[in-house]
Amino acid sequence: MLKRKIAGFLFIFIAGFLFMFTILSYSDWKYEDELIEHLSAEVIKRCDGPSNLSCIADTAMYYTHIIQDPMMTLFGNKEFSSPKTILTGSSFSNFYFGKGACGAYASFFSRLMARIGYRSKFVILNVNGREGGHIATVVEQDDKLLLVDPLSGHIFRDSNGNMTEIDTVSKYWNSYYKNHLSANYNKSYNYQMGWKYTNWDKLGVMTKLVYKTTALFIGKEEADKLSLRYFVIRMNKAFVFMAAAGFIISVMIALRLFRPEVNALLEYLSNRKNQKNRSTQQ
């Protein structure tokens, strides 16, 4: 009896915590979505519509740096201990704290492009023999994967000014593209060193198992093209649904543990209602 009540109160506490976490996550989610919505509307306005990808990419990159650079300059070398630094990842880590470098810039840019209507993949680049040394982005258009580097603000273009596919950049890196880089581009980010779209070694055995399972169902080629990070650039939305689900489950478990007390309360209320009805009839 006592253990059942202790467990019941524990799940009530967990439900209360998850309820508050759901509200806070929903608040962050809506704030971030509204900011991105207003920003994307400004980008579309400056490009006379969303169809001109070249203009959209340039303008989205411009606003990414307008917003991200001051935070990086002011707070990039500062320490934060708030739990929000853990809970706020993906596209807004640099927006809030000046943290994240290439990953934060790529995430913010990708989230802005997604709101305008363009899907992206994260490019996890090999740098000086090390996997994951840099993160860039490819913007999907039809069957093309057009390469941009949000951290340096560089959009790869050919000699005619057209946005260029990542495979083309790699193929002609030495003969053309490495000679036409932005001034602040780090030339060690060499696209002939290889890249992938998801770091399947990130969490060791766990992510390797996910990769093998994914490849089993959709094939190795498709698994290699999959960019998981793209799907977590709005973590607050995921937190809302996970916390809400946890809240509902916790409440259901607590009600089950307190079933005798709940039944007794319901019976008491029912008797009170019946007594009141009889008194009214008399």
pLDDT tens-digit map of 49-72? 999 999 999 999 999 999 889 888
Gap between the Cα atoms of 282 and 265, Å rounded = 26
pLDDT at 161 over 90: yes
Q: Which H or E element spans position 163? A: none
**189 has a pLDDT exceeding 70:** yes
Rounded mean pLDDT, 200-223: 82
AA letter at 215: A
Distance CA 250, CA 231 (A): 27
Instruction: Write the single-letter amino acid at 64.
Output: T
Mean pLDDT across the stretch 228-252? 83
Split at pLDDT 50, 70, 90, the class of 44 is very high
Q: Binning pLDDT at 50, 70 and 90, where does residue 268 land?
A: low
pLDDT at 126 over 70: yes
List of E strands, the chain: 120-127, 130-141, 144-149, 154-155, 195-196
When pLDDT is averaged across residues 27-55 and rounded to a whole number, the result is 93
Least Cα distance to 232 among 101, 116, 97, 111 occurs for 111
Q: State yes or no: pLDDT of 231 exceeds 90.
A: no
Residue 90: pLDDT over 60:
no
Task: Assign 26 a pLDDT band (cuts: 50, 70, 90).
Answer: confident
Structure tokens at 31: 């704030």
Average pLDDT over residues 197-201: 84
Ramachandran region, residue 151 (left: φ > 0; alpha: ψ -120 to 50; beta: rest): alpha
Residue 89 pLDDT grade (very low, low, confident, very high; cuts 50, 70, 90):
low
Nearest-CA neighbor of 136 among 197, 202, 201?
Answer: 197
Give percent of the chain with pLDDT exceeding 70. Answer: 90
- Residues contacting residue 101 through CB under 8 Å, at least 6 positions apart: 72, 94, 151
Interacting residues of 129 by C-beta distance below 8 A, sequence separation 6+: 193
Lowest-pLDDT range of 208-217, 228-237, 240-249: 228-237
Q: Going by C-beta distance under 8 Å and a sequence separation of 6 or more, which residues neighbour residue 268?
A: none
Q: Is the pLDDT of residue 267 over 80?
A: no
| Structure confidence at residue 160 (pLDDT) | 93
Token pair belonging to 259? 């079933």
Mean pLDDT of 217-235: 81
For position 41, what pLDDT does the model report? 97
Which tops the pLDDT comparison, 131 or 140?
A: 140
